[in-house]
Amino acid sequence: MTFRDDPLVFSFSTIEPGDGQRWSTWPATTPSERGPRPWPAWLVTSAGAIDTELGVVKGGKEADVFLIERAVPDDPTQSTILAAKRYRGAETSDFHRSSQYVEGRKMRNTRDSRALAKKTSYGRSVASAQWAYAEFVALSALYERGVAVPYPVQLHGTEVLMEFIGTGMSAAPRLAQIRGTDDELADLFEQVVEIMRGFARAGYAHGDLSPYNLLVHEGRVVVIDLPQLVDVVGNPAGMTLLERDCLNVCTWFTRRGLERDPGELLGDLVVELFG
């Protein structure tokens, strides 16, 4: 029997990525597009690793989140589940966040700014890559400050690969889906406030904080969805966006029966910002 006569033998005897697979993008990624050191012990960095798409966690307006397994074939010690957030081109997205957030953002070069303005397909990919870049940088900055965000594994074009928050292949529920006793809610609220303080100490507001962008994993709150991170002082709408984050959070807890005052929360965060 030869390989030419029986392609199956060939595919079993050599390892090549198949359908829904690719070689791990890690080895070809430049250091600036890799997550902060020290790298977590679970990170798979081997050049022999293969990424396998296991499914969609959630499709959205601006991005789709995929479940990815990064593993070295036949080595069970080198296997990890990641979340890949892939930004879409403008043709399937209204990029409704753009105008308010990107004001003052510097373009890498004039080719990029011209392409963006003309809305060419290259321009759309520039916009998607900018959102991915913004989210990767935000995750890295907050992770390094000890804020509860998923570990940012790497940036790969229009894709942000990050720690998957969940158990096995099931994503952690969003805060919006959580029912709890008063004590449990009070504890969750405190964790959200601690996250918001972490943002404020760094001069930021999340900018799109809601019970949909807070995951609850084994009792711990993790915040996600950071591409629009707001520089509270530098952005003319900074304070308004911080106020809105406070309102979204307090409204949700108050509806669940834990009365919380957005003005008080804002006051607390202003102390962190300027104190």
Would you please indicate which residues are annotated as catalytic (active-site) residues? Answer: 208, 225
b/e 171-207 (16+ beta carbons within 10 angstroms → b): bbebbeebebeeeebeebbebbbebbbbbbebebbbb
SS3 166: strand
Q: Is 224 in the site for ligand ADP (CB under 6 A)?
A: yes
- Our finding on whether 225 is near Mg ion (CB under 5 A) is yes
Binds ligand ADP by CB under 6 A, chosen from 24, 154, 191, 213: 213
CB nearer to ligand ADP: give 114 or 217: 217
Q: If binding is defined by CB under 6 A, does position 225 make contact with ligand ADP?
A: yes
Q: Which is nearer to ligand ADP, 171 or 186 (CB)?
A: 171
CB of 221 to Mg ion, least distance (A): 15
At position 145, the amino acid (one-letter code) is R
Nearer to Mg ion, 33 or 208 (CB): 208
Bond preceding residue 76 cis, omega within 30 of 0: no
- Specify the residue, 62 or 69, whose C-beta has the smaller distance to Mg ion: 62
CB atoms within 10 A of CB 40: 12
Q: Which two tokens stand for residue 240?
A: 């308004």
- Does 65 bind ligand ADP (CB under 6 A)? Our answer is yes
Q: Using omega within 30 degrees of 0 as the cis cutoff, is the peptide bond preceding 38 cis?
A: yes
Kindly state whether residue 62 participates in binding ligand ADP, applying the rule CB under 6 A: yes
Degrees (nearest 5) of the Cα angle 76, 78, 82? 110
Shortest distance in whole angstroms from residue 270 CB to ligand ADP: 26
- 83 touches ligand ADP (CB under 6 A): yes
**Which among 118, 156, 115, 116 has a CA at the least distance from the CA of 135?**
156
Residue 225 Cβ vs ligand ADP, minimum distance, rounded to whole Å: 3
Spatial contact of 169 and 229, defined as CB atoms under 8 Å apart:
no
Alpha-carbon torsion 123, 126, 130, 136, what sign? positive
213 part of the interface to Mg ion, by CB under 5 A: yes
Select the binding partner of residue 97 from Mg ion, ligand ADP, none (C-beta < 5 to 8 A, by kind). Answer: none
Of residues 151 through 190, those in contact with ligand ADP by CB under 6 A are 162-166, 171-172, 174
Position 88 contacts ligand ADP (CB under 6 A): no
Q: Which of 46, 48, 58, 144 lies at the binding interface for ligand ADP (CB under 6 A)?
A: 58
Alpha-carbon distance 140 to 59, whole Å? 23
Tokens 């479940």 map to which residue? 67
Answer yes or no whether residue 63 interacts with ligand ADP by CB under 6 A: yes
Residue 35 binds which entry of Mg ion, ligand ADP, none, CB below 5-8 Å type-dependent? none
As a whole number of angstroms, the distance between CA 16 and CA 29 comes to 20
Give the total residue count for the chain.
275
**Site for Mg ion, rule CB under 5 A:** 213, 225
**Site for ligand ADP, rule CB under 6 A:** 57-58, 60, 62-63, 65, 83, 85, 150, 162-166, 171-172, 174, 212-213, 224-225
